[in-house]
Amino acid sequence: MSETADSRETIKSSEIEPSFKYELSKMHGGEKILRCFQCGTCTSDCPVARFSETYRPRTIIHMAQLGLRERVLKSNTLWLCAACFTCTDRCPQGVEVASVIRVLRNLAAEEGIAPAVFKEQAFCILDSGYAYKIPELRIKKRETQGLPPLPKGNPKNLRKSLTGVKFLEIIKKEREQQNEQ
């Protein structure tokens, strides 16, 4: 997976999938992507872009508009968005920037392309019902402080309600393959 939005790498014509933007425009949240005229307001108001040298929502929208499907789905920067929706509120063209990013993340996840940290988090949810593993030390410390025990997660019910989620099916297969090695 690439470290940056890869917008500076030379684009090969073989990378371009012209129908990609139309595909996105048919998805919930992606409908207005064709309206973007690259003014850069989303980037200038984005709190994450302010502290990152690589994260640029405008560039993500541009790559998607250009049809750079694989490049944008494989970009690590896609996962930096904090979903604060400032960009969506400020876009003069009414592009739902944050929603487009969500749509792109969903597509990437469906193809099993997600940073390892999110895969680990998904496993943790499936295993324990919690988004991260609570260290034993912390559980013991609660006891010594006289705090009540944490509510138990219900991974069985969670797994049941998440049946059929493509991303989870893919990462479960990945884990099985890892265990076989």
| Residues of this chain that bind ligand SF4 (CB under 6 A) | 36-42, 46-48, 57-58, 61, 81-87, 91, 93, 95, 97-98, 101
Chain position carrying tokens 């988004």: 131
Helices (H), the chain: 20-25, 41-45, 47-50, 57-66, 69-73, 86-90, 97-110, 116-128, 136-144, 155-161, 166-180
> What minimum distance in Å lies between the beta carbon of 7 and ligand SF4?
13
Query: Which is nearer to ligand SF4, 99 or 170 (by Cβ)?
Result: 99
Q: Residue 152 phi/psi, 5° resolution?
A: -75, 140
Q: How far is the CB of 8 from ligand SF4 (least distance, A)?
A: 18
- Which value, to the nearest 10 degrees, does the dihedral of the CA atoms of residues 67, 70, 74, 77 take? -10
Q: Which of residues 50 and 141 has its CB atom nearest to ligand SF4 in the complex?
A: 50
Please, what is the minimum distance in Å from the beta carbon of residue 102 to ligand SF4? 9
How many CA within 13 A on the CB side of residue 81? 27
> Closest separation between CB of residue 83 and ligand SF4, Å?
5
Residue nearer to ligand SF4 on the CB measure, 96 or 171: 96
By C-beta, is 81 or 168 nearer to ligand SF4? 81
